Amino acid sequence: MKKFSIRCALLASLLATSITPPVAAEEQTWPELSLGDLMKVGIESAARKSQSLSNTAAAVFVISASDIRRSGALTIPEILQLAPGVEVARLGNNKFAVSIRGFNGRMANKLLVMVDGRSIYSSLYGGVIWEAENLPLEEINRIEVIRGSAGLAWGSNAVNGVINIITRRTQDTVGWLVDSHAGSETGKAGLAVRYGAKADDGSAFRVTVNDQRRDGGKEVNGREVQDFWNDTSLTFRYDRPDGIDTRWFFSGRVFDSHSDETWLTPTFDPAAMYDASQYGAAKIDTFVSQRNGGDLLGRFERNTDGGGEVRVQTYFEKFQGTVSGTGNTHSTFDVDAQHRFPLGESHDIVWGGNWRQTNHQTRMQPGGYLTTSEPDTAVNLTSLFAQDEWTVLPHTLSLQAGARVERQTYGGTASQPSVRALWTPSEQHSFWFAWSKAVRSPNVVQSTMGANAVAFPAGAAPAILIYAAPAGQNGFGNEKVRTVEFGHRAQWTPTFFSDLSAYSSKYEGTFGLLSQSTVPNSALAGPGGDPACDATLASFGLAAGTPGLCITHQYGNAMPVRTRGVELTSEWNPLPVWRLQVNASRMWMDAGAGTPYAPDALQYGSSPKYQGALRSSYNLSPDRQFDLWLRRIGGLSHADQNRGASLAAPIAARTELDLRFAEQVNESLELSLTFQNLLSRNEIQFHPDYSPTLPVVPQRTVYLKALWHGL
């Protein structure tokens, strides 16, 4: 024992006097350690993925709580950049586009995101309203990022991937925690206060109050944009183990989020136009998007006598959002049950079902950018699934097959089967293969809402109003995808790990333009003009007697799309105190080849062809950390590769650099200084899509953070 303490002290002294790491002890002394010592000994980081991860026949990446803290990121989308192949672009200080394997957008609808099993994928827009998802970051235990189709396990919309955000058990969050920061831009100010306590029977609870404030960004021309984001929430969680076999879990939150947004809404009135040379026929409309709501979740888990597990979970959620006079209120009720049990020596069966209903009430501002054909609508979802995992050779070969059958109000009935195989020839290597089918269900906006856009060319050309009709009128149904993937994971040495995956996906019937019809107004065609068109143009400020055209776009299941790609993540620990991570991905997309359909610029040019990241986590001493995060994201071409046409202005590739220094001042206080976006140039990262948002340039951010915990 004595011997060990002396060595510990020596290690400490070496680390304190030099950043040269200590040599590993030659002799094994672990049997001499007492329980008390063990609780104090640090765990040496190793470039080793957990065994359970290496035993998954899918492209999975896990972001740990320590990764989150060391990344310096303040929002979930920024944290997701830690995972390979996740596309994250900022449309401003409060708006994000997040996707996996293509189709990025502010409402990227082929990625399912869940918090503790509660879907935060919006059935209104499709995609995630990230402004409303401001979970206190210290609550997160880990984030599992699954790339590829996972409809069998998670249901519809898990087309290109699933992100599972898993919060910490309350048993691990006992005592007080204060997480505060102050700085510039998106790091302006934040305060989260948490209190947790546990009882003698092993049950525990926590309550957290969280308030975050972010400043507005700038336009490309340097003008300040009203782009702030203030957000307050109260979250709680209660865990209760009940005897040996049963566990209960309850959680909930209430939140209130205000994010400023500036829209460029259509107008023909030259006097009202904002900056016609840059933004065309649009007037500025600044407003506060207000979103508030709450949710309650309960889960019951029990071990059955046959060696299986039963899990029943239910949640209720209420959400209210107002954006530019358009209001949506919805409430969701969801029940999910699943049962897992071993069958014989080598089969593991999982089966279950899910039922969800969301009632939407949408109120439009008359004469605005959006119209709705169904102000009140209910979206129902029912599904059943079963899968078998067959261990053909223990720890060497396993096969998995199953299917989910699902019925959704707009999409109808669809099946989502999947077959996977995992081969682990040695402890150092594993290979996997997967074939799967998944669907993306239509959402309320695409099915029932229309949108207006205008163009007001100079000279004698007619003014144009484009109306995108609700796709529901054209029988818009599920988008389908078939994906083939394979992967290889290898532990080359105890300090070097790599994970490679490749995929090929074929999409059918992705949302797109089917046809268009054009009618002239009376000023252009005289008596042949359409009076309805006259009225519509006038409502957008077109002066009487000005020639104009009304174009109606019909949307529906259009485009076949094909994507292929490779993704790599690797980790190397050159020294016990130094961890290096490299991620890289490359994607090829081919939209609409051989069909009459023209791809939608914002949908198909919106993902980078390549991206890569290097992350270095260095412990300068046991109490000091230095983190560097360098990212390179390929440009967005916005070009139709089959026709050679440019559909929107291309966006340049960008390089981003974040730095973080942290010091553990004493056992309960950590101070850190983070610099984000250090290489930022005066360029936007993404064209606004869906909403006509004014493009905003993300700025450099610096903030100081104090993390204190006590009993």
Partner 1 sequence: MSAQALLVKHPTRLFLLLLLFGVFGSRPCPAALPEVQIKSAYVFNFIKFVVWPAAETKPGKNKLRLCVIGSSELYASLSVLDGQRVGEYRLDVVRPGGDDRLRACHVLYIGELEQKRLVAIIKSLGNAPVLTISDIPGFAERGGGIGLLNRNDRMLFEVNLAATRKAGLQLSGQMLNLAANIFGK
Nearer to partner 1, 5 or 517 (CB): 5
Nearer to partner 1, 45 or 504 (CB): 45
Nearer to partner 1, 39 or 711 (CB): 39
Residue 315 to residue 335: CA distance in whole angstroms: 7
Tokens representing residue 646 in the block: 């440019």
Q: How far is the CB of 399 from partner 1 (least distance, A)?
A: 14
Nearer to partner 1, 30 or 333 (CB): 30
DSSP designation for 305: T
Q: How far is the CB of 226 from partner 1 (least distance, A)?
A: 40
- Residue 4, CB half-sphere, CA atoms under 13 Å: how many? 13
Tokens representing residue 108 in the block: 């990227």
Chain residues that interact with partner 1, rule: CB under 8 A:
4-15, 17-18, 20, 22-23, 28, 30-31, 33-46, 50-52, 55, 66, 169, 171-172, 198, 200-202, 204, 239, 241, 243-245, 247, 301, 303-309, 342, 348, 389, 395, 427, 576, 622-623, 667
Q: How far is the CB of 46 from partner 1 (least distance, A)?
A: 7
Which one, of 653, 613, 656, 607, lies nearest residue 634 by Cα?
653
Q: How far is the CB of 11 from partner 1 (least distance, A)?
A: 5
Residue 565 to residue 411: CA distance in whole angstroms: 28
Residue 470 to residue 445: CA distance in whole angstroms: 8
* Other beta carbons less than 10 A from residue 300's beta carbon: 16
Residue 187 to residue 212: CA distance in whole angstroms: 9
Helices (H), 247-398: 276-279
Nearer to partner 1, 8 or 679 (CB): 8
Tokens representing residue 213 in the block: 């404030």
Residue 371 to residue 468: CA distance in whole angstroms: 10
Nearer to partner 1, 302 or 609 (CB): 302
Angle (nearest 5°) at CA 58 between 159 and 113: 40
Q: How far is the CB of 403 from partner 1 (least distance, A)?
A: 20
Q: How far is the CB of 668 from partner 1 (least distance, A)?
A: 12
User: Residue 687, SS3?
Assistant: coil
Torsion of CA 135, 136, 140, 146, to 10 degrees: 30
Which one, of 541, 518, 522, 538, lies nearest residue 530 by Cα?
522
Residue 661 to residue 58: CA distance in whole angstroms: 35
Nearer to partner 1, 386 or 639 (CB): 386
Q: How far is the CB of 30 from partner 1 (least distance, A)?
A: 4
Q: How far is the CB of 341 from partner 1 (least distance, A)?
A: 8
Nearer to partner 1, 206 or 440 (CB): 206
Residue 185 to residue 168: CA distance in whole angstroms: 29
Measured in degrees and rounded to the nearest 5, phi and psi for residue 692 equal: -85, 60
Nearer to partner 1, 65 or 673 (CB): 65
Nearer to partner 1, 256 or 623 (CB): 623
Nearer to partner 1, 504 or 621 (CB): 621
Residue 659 to residue 668: CA distance in whole angstroms: 23
Longest dimension (CA), the chain: 102
Let me know: does 125 contact 110? Beta carbons within 8 Å: no
Q: How far is the CB of 238 from partner 1 (least distance, A)?
A: 14
Q: How far is the CB of 245 from partner 1 (least distance, A)?
A: 6
Q: How far is the CB of 444 from partner 1 (least distance, A)?
A: 37
Residue 84 to residue 60: CA distance in whole angstroms: 10
